[in-house]
Chains A and B, each alone.
Chain A
Amino acid sequence: MTTDGNTKTGGMISGSMLAIDAKDMHYKELNKIIRESILSGVKNILLENVNGQYYIGDGIKGDDITITVNGVPGNDLGVFMDGPSIIVNNNVQDNIGNTMNAGKITVNGDAGDVIGYGMRGGRIYIRGNAGYRIGIHMKGYNEQIPVIIIGGKVGSFFGEYMAGGVMVLLSLDNSEESVGEYFGVGMHGGAIYMKQKIDFSKYSKEVEFLEANDSDMSFLKKYLSEYAKDFNLSSEDLIKGPFYKIIPSSARPYAHLYTSAAF
């Protein structure tokens, strides 16, 4: 362990910066050190040699906390997280930002399946591609709007059951169609923006495909500028339209399906 460049071993370190060598460390031990160092006032944590440890940043709180991850973190990165930022300088696995409440996860690579499940707030920015079932059952209420931006393409069931929040699919460096099957099935709230114009007729009948208007663009600008800055991309290129918007055609896609039984 090092703090501000001074090597220390054992014990907790107070101060604002902590480096942890996660090589061969079990997730339970690693996350305990993270939790305890945050309690003792550490604001910046650098994790080296991460190799598949689960639950990094699980349920941690505090807007001024940053965790930088070198290596590939395991499943459930940032699960239940409430405020901190996690920067991953590599790919990530499944379930990142699971039921996350606030904060930010930045991924300089690709992501696995089920990203941002039931996400309630905060941002997940992925530079590369992401797998199946991204942003399913994302939620939102008034100003609390979770945002996921994906640079590349995604797998099937993108935005399934989506109830709120915003997802943006940029399709950078990607000429083929960037979405898989069952796009937006059961979507009943929130919005998905795409840079690629796709033939939407083969996807969900429960959503509508529109061109984004000025108010959509002014909302997106803030997030896209931040995304461009995080990944050293040109903000102008990124924001340049047109963008397409997918929204649910009804808040109750299944209302007609039911009838009250005799008993």
Chain B
Amino acid sequence: MTKSSFTNVQSEYLAVIDHAKCIRCKRCIQNCGWGTYSFGGDKIIADHSKCVACGRCYTYCPEGAISILKNPTVMRENGNWQDYHIKNIWRQSETGGIAISGMGTPLKYKKYFDHILLDACQVTNPPIDPLREPMELKTFLGKKPSKIELDFNEDGQPVLKNKMPPQIELATPFMFAPMSYGSISLNAQKAMALAARALGIVMNIGEGGLHDELVPFGKNIIVQVASGRFGVNRDYLNSGAAVEIKIGQGAKPGIGGHLPGEKIGADISRTRMIPAGTDAISPAPHHDIYSIEDLRQLIYAIKEAVNYEKPVSVKVAAVHNIAAIVSGVVRAGADIVYIDGFSGGTGAAPTIVRDNVGIPIEIALAQVDQRLREEGIRNEASLIAAGSIRSSADAVKAIALGADAVAIGTAALITMGCHVCGKCHTGNCSWGITTQRPELTRRLDPEEYGEKLYNLINAWSHEMKEVLGAMGVNSIESLRGSKERLRGIELTDSELKALGIKHAGM
């Protein structure tokens, strides 16, 4: 078919330059990864159709001469036919393609964290001041013994008789969520590795293999085995603090990984061992896992390869029957289960899946914690919650709903400059995060952003201590799964039941 020179797909944003302020330094041309700006002989010209409102140009314009505006040309308002329905129809009718997006869903689904309130002490039990009294955030992830067995030494002191299974030690119950080299740049991974080391936590390198430059950060790294098996070998399995089998991802439950060919340059081709320019495809299932028994087989293949010295984590997406699934995963031998909720982020996913498949992390977590307790196997594995943890408040609520720790992905990217434009799959990220173009990746200074990540997690940890103190507990462990400290507002009886919490006032 011949292509019409006219298109209904209009500019989302307008890049407006105040030519009176502009000194023609051309920094905007350099900074924009999208090619929005060019020099027209005597002034900067903007091609609005390319702008995604990533914010890079106005952040780095020395004169404050750039404004990014939402295109004021209105589409006729319609409560049913939303802008995005109409725009996707136009795009898809021009290309015939599956609509693909980055980041978590931008649609306004109910966010349960925003309908949960925390408890605090008044009169009858004293709150604790965390600035002047000890407050423990240290968290160990891994299988715990079902009972404590003690021996006594010659001084009559108790000595733990149990042999503890391998654990990951976190100084604070946060970790950086899996994001692969390929989906994000090496510098972005390095920033997280530096922060993880300084904070005493871990980052997860995702499924793209371990770059040589990250090898020294092994103690603060979780390595991942996904269905594409990129970069996986015995040394890889032994190079981190733990190994994670990726079954699913909150942004795209039930489908595999897809790293578009635009992002597969020479170095990614080498680390993933696939042709340059090809799409890196991770099959929807691991083809050696079609059942819980098969999952057990891979978990123990890994445990054998690491001589039972590292915990094995299994990452699953929160789907309708998540409680039964996680019970099976724990019984298959997982030491840690990472549950990724609906609205979790992605480097690339079909929009229909990102926006419509899965269940919220809050409900998944409450159901899983309850089920594992009922079955008497909650101690067999630690739970990590993820899927858009936006603040320390979300993290505290997740832990009270049953998580041992939370993982942050998008929040870490926002720390590195991300404006959540959702175009990660294009490889044009102006902030040097979700791109492999060297002129863009080199602008992301791992030291600088590593420090900002350190600041963020430190700030969130302090906030966590504040609310723990207010609730009168002095360790994060005391809050885990303590749904009694949560109350719901504006929730139906079914929602309260699913979350396992009471309504405010009850």
Contacts and interface: CB of A to CB of B under 8 A. Distances in A.
Q: Which of B92, B300, B306, B423 has the most chain A CB atoms closer than 10 A to its own CB?
A: B300
A75 B300 CA distance: 11
B376 interface: no
Given A137-B229, A263-B84, A189 B301 contact: no
Contacts of B228: 118, 137
A232 to B, nearest CB: 32
A255 B279 contact: yes
Interface of A: 27-28, 31, 35, 54-55, 58-61, 75-76, 79-82, 94-95, 98-99, 101, 114, 117-118, 120, 133, 136-137, 139-141, 144, 160-161, 163-164, 186, 188-189, 251-263
Given A141-B274, A262-B12, A263-B12, 20 more contacts: A35-B307, A59-B306, A80-B233, A95-B297, A98-B288, A101-B234, A137-B283, A139-B274, A140-B273, A163-B278, A164-B275, A188-B281, A251-B261, A252-B279, A257-B97, A260-B91, A261-B100, A262-B87, A263-B106, A263-B422
Given A80-B305, A82-B233, A141 B273 contact: yes
23 contacts: A35-B307, A54-B300, A75-B297, A76-B297, A79-B305, A80-B233, A80-B237, A80-B301, A99-B232, A114-B288, A117-B288, A120-B232, A140-B273, A141-B269, A141-B270, A144-B273, A164-B273, A164-B274, A188-B281, A258-B97, A259-B97, A261-B84, A263-B106
Contacts of A82: 233-235
Main secondary structure of the interface of A (DSSP, over half): loop
B265 interface: no
B494 interface: no
A28 B425 CA distance: 43
B264 to A, nearest CB: 9
B132 interface: no
B216 interface: no
Contacts of A140: 273
A258 B229 contact: no
Interface of B: 12, 83-84, 87-88, 91-92, 94-101, 106, 225, 227-230, 232-235, 237, 260-261, 269-270, 272-275, 277-279, 281, 283, 287-288, 297, 300-301, 304-307, 350-351, 422-423, 425-426
Given A82-B234, A99-B233, A141-B273, A259 B279 contact: no
Contacts of B91: 259-262
B423 A262 contact: no
A255 B97 CA distance: 9
Contact of B234 (A59, A161, A188): A59
A261 B269 contact: no
Nearest to A35: B307
A258 B353 CA distance: 14
A114 B287 contact: yes
Q: Which of B92, B234, B237 has the most chain A CB atoms closer than 10 A to its own CB?
A: B234
A189 B288 contact: no
A163 B233 contact: no
B166 to A, nearest CB: 16
